[in-house]
A and B are shown apart, each in its own frame.
Chain A
Amino acid sequence: MSTATLPSTSRPTMTQTTTASAGAPALNPAYIQIKDFSFYYGAAKVLHGLSLDIPEQQVTAFIGPSGCGKSTLLRNLNRMNDLVDGIRHEGDILVNGHSIYDPLIEVIALRKRIGMVFQKSNPFPKSIYENVVYSLRVAGRNGKAELDEVVERSLKGAALWDEVKDRLHESAFGLSGGQMQRLCIARAIANRPEILLMDEPCSALDPIATAKVEELIHELKKEFTIVIVTHNMQQAARVSDRTAFFYLGKLIEYDVTTNIFQNPANAQTEAYVSGRFG
């Protein structure tokens, strides 16, 4: 995709174009359309008929108080919720115009296309190198030259290369918390997915590590479409282009980030972003 060269300063313009072209998703390969999506854990309905479009190569932030369903929605985008028992959904989610719930698509293939970084860093009990190339190994790609190249590119992409290049074959558990999270990001981008889902990636990190990850998100945006869930409104304001505010399983407001934080249309949004509840 040549659009990776788009400058970040063109954010507002970009936002305008993508929202305007929402009706023609086929043009954007990584376009996510959430259509009247409801989700149930057993009898409990946790998402209530959400509809929103997520544009390509931008950072979209999901914010909202705990239990609002933002993480649940994120985890549905790559069908990680399939692991949970007693789930049910209504509505549909389309990626690149195709339903991810189409029985004919392979969940494994879907997840190769949509990477995910978790709230708590979860490196595998393997070396740094093996962590990064895991997605290639499970795909049967074992060529050393390719793996070496992927490791270097991914770790550089995750701004971790300089810190770990001399100990690639040591255990990933020797890293600090912030490094581990960046390793998980490197691991997620190793197979060059189209979309990167980040579930509160900085919640367990100190401010310095957080700053590094945020900086990284800015860089990654050039290549990936990023959806990030965060509790930290400053973070949402800093890193995202668009922000969706959820409350009690409903989408309250979805707009360009600057609008949400400076000029929210909804009173609840205003109360939340100004810290009066939540």
Chain B
Amino acid sequence: MPAKPTPPPVPARFQVGKATLLMDRFMNQFIKIGGLSVIVAVFGIFIFILVQILPLFRGAQAEELKAFQLEPGDYVQLGIDEWSELPFAMQADGDLNFIDVVGDRGVMTKTLPFAADHGVGAVQYNQLAQRLAVGTRDGQFSLVEIAYRPTYGAGNARTIEAELKAGDLLAIGRPGVPVAMIGYADAGARKLAVAKQIVDGRMELHAVTLAQRRTLMGGGRITLDRTYNLTGLVTGTIDKFLVAAQADSVLIATTEGELIYLFLDGGEFYVRQRLKPFAHLPDPRIKLLNYVFGDVTFVTVGMNGETKGYSLFLDPAVGSRQFGETKRFDARPGATEVFAASVRNKAFLLGTERHARLIFSTTETVRWQQDLGFSVRQAIIGGKYDRMVFLDEASKLHFFRLNDPHPESSFRAFFGKLWYEGAPAPKYDWQSTGGSDDFEPKLSLVPLIIGSLKGTFYALLFAVPIALLAAIYTSQFLKPEVKTIVKPTMEIMASLPSVVLGFLAALWLAPILETRVPSVILIVTLVPLTALAFGWAWTKLPPRARLAIAPGWEFVVFLPMMFAAGYTAWHLGPSLERLIFVVTDPTSGQRVADFRLWWPSVTGTPFEQRNSLVVGFMMGFAVIPIIFTIAEDALSNVPQSLRSGSLALGASRWQTAFRIVLPTASAGIFSALMIGLGRAVGETMIVVMATGNTPIMEWNIFSGMRTLSANIAVELPEAPHHGTLYRTLFLGAMVLFVMTFLVNTVAEVLRQRLRDRYKTVE
């Protein structure tokens, strides 16, 4: 095989060094990897946020875990312990059958101690307090505590034990007459029991208030305080009634389909409201009436399956807290037999024939629904909103697992108007946490989006004119030797940490501005007017006088005048206040000159110390250097040849700046504005510190705001990991992300267009 001719060696002077080649290839790859990593990181963040928020938009899932056949009987009430391990089914005769659903203890029966002697006429179960109010067949009632107690056996295996602790029998209504229906509420200082009896074929309604002596050892004995006969207040035949947890009212449904709202005030009951929820139907009777958790909203179902929610709120037209229709739920034709409210949130379960559905009251959404293989007779939701128990017509207990971690969320909850409990009208509201367990979270992001836009608007309103005019002046009129000082100074301004700005805004600027609004008004009018007047006067000066100042140094004369104007305006402020911003003090009748009082009295909107003006100034302070620097660069990068061309045609410097330089640099200026906008939208620290963080929906400059970013900063430390609030905050982050993404995309498209339109020949 002939050897291939070896190519002649490359002379050393044509050779490329190995290190040079290696470095070149390495850097090529390195930069590629770097660029890809950035894209991957941004997408990674996006996907992470998406994964965090997706569970919010999933419905509830439920599956049957077990079923237990109970002895056939007349079961009147289901109950369940906090851990959902030992539910019970109560029979009409007073036997409680506890069913061990996790262990193998089977069914354990406990009997009410007084059942044998006095009988059981009616029962009401309070799941939250684990308390039964039991009415006897001889006109008495007793409060029975179901004491659930975990015990730990071998190997730390936990079992739940239940024990019945019956209180004294207390008289209610007519002695010796069976209690047909009982309701009881304990609001601490006030305890109210209500019983329905049938006396000689007539319905009677009796109420008692109870007193409990508090001792050092805990609650003392419960004794009767006052008795009431409510029969006279009710017109019609009492069908069912509810006693609100606040122990101050009884809501009665009559067989005629009327609701009567009795209120206990000043030791007496009176009728506060009467309404007919289904008056429009041929059969106006009320099939179901129950409170959802918190006892502020009740759900009522008509004979045709129509399901509505009524909530207590203060109607300014009426003047007292009354029920108004606030909710309309999906109607399901057929007789709805069963209702069960969650004791953890505003969800409730409705059983209609062989079908069950779980509805969340606040959002009116059906969280879960399923056709069941049985007819529901009784139902209950576990204390942790993680189990559902159904009892069917064959006395079979069906034990379901419920998985619904975010019942409060829905698209409407985040972006739509909801009619919250206690509110006179539907509204957008953000209030994620409250003081009580039965608090209804309000998770609308709309006030936060408005807040973000408001803060951005006021910041840019202040920053854009100043930054742009400064950039034009610096790039087009200022002497280069001054420019070399001005520009770095502005850039140092950008490096101020926003927490410092926020601190200054909150503790220094806000208190000053609070009393000096008239001065600020004067400054923003007088200073620009002075500038215009100066410019006009300057052109009218004899040329010889003007020549004393070299072109580009006019600011030496101008600046002192501006400061003088600002100083004068600041000190004229109080005089202006005395002149214009005068209100009459409603209490003393005196005339007071105070802008803080004048503004609310004239506009009807509040005046707060931490307001948008302060945020506008301080956030503007943060945004100005960014817009200034980029805009100045863009303006300075306009080719000198264009400026010369314009000047050579007899245009003034100002005309050149506005007609040639500004349009040519428009793409760059636009970028500057967009970057400034991005900074203002995402700015957090200044807003957190300098606004009241009140999520309000108004554009009033003298009130605060809460922005999406500030909301995340304020609430994330308090949001339980993977809870609804936690994920909602991530949803806020996503909205912020999408907002900036949209703005940036639109901005980029516009910028490209501007650049194509005003590109210069190179």
Residues of A within 8 A of B (CB): 78, 80, 82-83, 85, 103-104, 108-109, 111-112, 115-116, 118, 120-126, 134-135, 137-139, 171, 173, 180, 184, 187-188, 191
Bitwise interface map of B from 635 to 670 toward A, beta carbon under 8 Å scored 1, else 0? 000011111111111111001000110011000000
Given contacts A108-B652, A138-B650, contact A103 B641 (CB under 8 A): no
Cβ B648 vs Cβ A134 within 8 A: no
A173 to B755, CA, bound (A): 13
Cβ B649 vs Cβ A122 within 8 A: no
A149 to B279, CA, bound (A): 82
In the assembled complex, which residues on chain B have CB atoms less than 8 Å from the CB atom of A78?
648
A134 to B650, CA, bound (A): 9
Instruction: Report A56 CB to chain B, min CB distance, Å.
Output: 21
A187 to B504, CA, bound (A): 54
Contacting residue for A173 out of B645, B651, B652, B759, CB 8 A: B759
Contacting residue for A135 out of B479, B639, B649, CB 8 A: B649
A176 to B663, CA, bound (A): 23
Cβ A125 vs Cβ B759 within 8 A: yes
Contacting residue for B649 out of A85, A125, A188, CB 8 A: A188
B557 interfacial by beta-carbon distance below 8 Å: no
Contacting residue for A103 out of B543, B651, B761, CB 8 A: B543
Contacting residue for A83 out of B644, B649, B664, CB 8 A: B644
B37 interfacial by beta-carbon distance below 8 Å: no
Task: Identify 20 residue pairs between A and B in the complex whose beta-carbon atoms are under 8 Å apart, listed by A's number.
Answer: A78-B648, A85-B481, A103-B544, A103-B547, A111-B647, A111-B650, A115-B648, A121-B761, A122-B642, A122-B645, A124-B646, A124-B660, A125-B664, A125-B757, A134-B651, A135-B650, A135-B651, A138-B652, A139-B650, A187-B649
B480 interfacial by beta-carbon distance below 8 Å: yes
Cβ B650 vs Cβ A112 within 8 A: yes
In the assembled complex, which residues on chain B have CB atoms less than 8 Å from the CB atom of A180?
761
**CB closest residue in chain B, given A190:** B649
A135 to B656, CA, bound (A): 11
In the assembled complex, which residues on chain A have CB atoms less than 8 Å from the CB atom of B639?
122
Chain B contact surface mostly: helix
**CB closest residue in chain B, given A104:** B543
Cβ A138 vs Cβ B761 within 8 A: no
In the assembled complex, which residues on chain B have CB atoms less than 8 Å from the CB atom of A184?
645
B760 interfacial by beta-carbon distance below 8 Å: yes
**CB closest residue in chain A, given B641:** A122
Contacting residue for B648 out of A103, A116, A126, CB 8 A: A116
In the assembled complex, which residues on chain A have CB atoms less than 8 Å from the CB atom of B643?
83
Cβ B645 vs Cβ A83 within 8 A: no
In the assembled complex, which residues on chain B have CB atoms less than 8 Å from the CB atom of A112?
649-650
A110 to B431, CA, bound (A): 69
Cβ B761 vs Cβ A83 within 8 A: no
In the assembled complex, which residues on chain B have CB atoms less than 8 Å from the CB atom of A111?
647-650
Cβ A120 vs Cβ B648 within 8 A: no
Residues of B within 8 A of A (CB): 479-481, 543-544, 547, 551, 639-652, 655, 659-660, 663-664, 757-761
Cβ B660 vs Cβ A191 within 8 A: no
In the assembled complex, which residues on chain B have CB atoms less than 8 Å from the CB atom of A137?
659
**CB closest residue in chain A, given B542:** A104
Cβ A85 vs Cβ B650 within 8 A: no
Cβ B649 vs Cβ A191 within 8 A: yes
Cβ B647 vs Cβ A80 within 8 A: yes
Instruction: Report B479 CB to chain A, min CB distance, Å.
Output: 7
In the assembled complex, which residues on chain B have CB atoms less than 8 Å from the CB atom of A82?
551
Contacting residue for B651 out of A108, A118, A122, CB 8 A: A108
**CB closest residue in chain B, given A124:** B660
**Best-buried of B543, B643, B759, B761 by chain A (most CB within 10 Å):** B761
Instruction: Report A123 CB to chain B, min CB distance, Å.
Output: 7
Cβ A125 vs Cβ B650 within 8 A: no
A108 to B648, CA, bound (A): 8
**CB closest residue in chain A, given B758:** A125
Instruction: Report B667 CB to chain A, min CB distance, Å.
Output: 11
A91 to B16, CA, bound (A): 59
User: Other than the known A115-B649, A118-B648, A138-B646, what 20 A-B pairs have Cβ atoms closer than 8 Å?
Assistant: A80-B647, A82-B551, A83-B647, A85-B480, A103-B544, A104-B543, A108-B650, A115-B648, A118-B641, A124-B660, A125-B642, A125-B759, A134-B646, A134-B659, A135-B649, A135-B650, A138-B649, A138-B652, A188-B648, A191-B650
A173 to B760, CA, bound (A): 8
**CB closest residue in chain B, given A123:** B761
A108 to B647, CA, bound (A): 8
Contacting residue for B479 out of A85, A138, A171, CB 8 A: A85
In the assembled complex, which residues on chain A have CB atoms less than 8 Å from the CB atom of B544?
103-104
**CB closest residue in chain A, given B643:** A83
Cβ B641 vs Cβ A120 within 8 A: yes
**CB closest residue in chain A, given B757:** A125
A64 to B174, CA, bound (A): 128
**CB closest residue in chain A, given B481:** A85
- List the 7 shortest-distance A-B pairs measured between CB atoms, nearest first: A112-B650, A116-B648, A122-B641, A138-B651, A135-B649, A125-B758, A122-B645
Cβ B644 vs Cβ A138 within 8 A: no
**Best-buried of A108, A138, A139, A173 by chain B (most CB within 10 Å):** A138
**Best-buried of A80, A83, A125, A134 by chain B (most CB within 10 Å):** A125
In the assembled complex, which residues on chain A have CB atoms less than 8 Å from the CB atom of B655?
138
A126 to B648, CA, bound (A): 17
A121 to B644, CA, bound (A): 11
A8 to B651, CA, bound (A): 33
In the assembled complex, which residues on chain A have CB atoms less than 8 Å from the CB atom of B481?
85
In the assembled complex, which residues on chain B have CB atoms less than 8 Å from the CB atom of A173?
759, 761
A111 to B655, CA, bound (A): 14
In the assembled complex, which residues on chain B have CB atoms less than 8 Å from the CB atom of A124?
642, 645-646, 660, 664
A187 to B644, CA, bound (A): 13
**CB closest residue in chain A, given B663:** A125
In the assembled complex, which residues on chain B have CB atoms less than 8 Å from the CB atom of A191?
649-650
A19 to B651, CA, bound (A): 34
A170 to B617, CA, bound (A): 43
Instruction: Report A36 CB to chain B, min CB distance, Å.
Output: 23
A126 to B666, CA, bound (A): 13
In the assembled complex, which residues on chain A have CB atoms less than 8 Å from the CB atom of B543?
103-104
In the assembled complex, which residues on chain B have CB atoms less than 8 Å from the CB atom of A80?
644, 647-648
A197 to B757, CA, bound (A): 30
A171 to B759, CA, bound (A): 10
In the assembled complex, which residues on chain B have CB atoms less than 8 Å from the CB atom of A115?
648-649
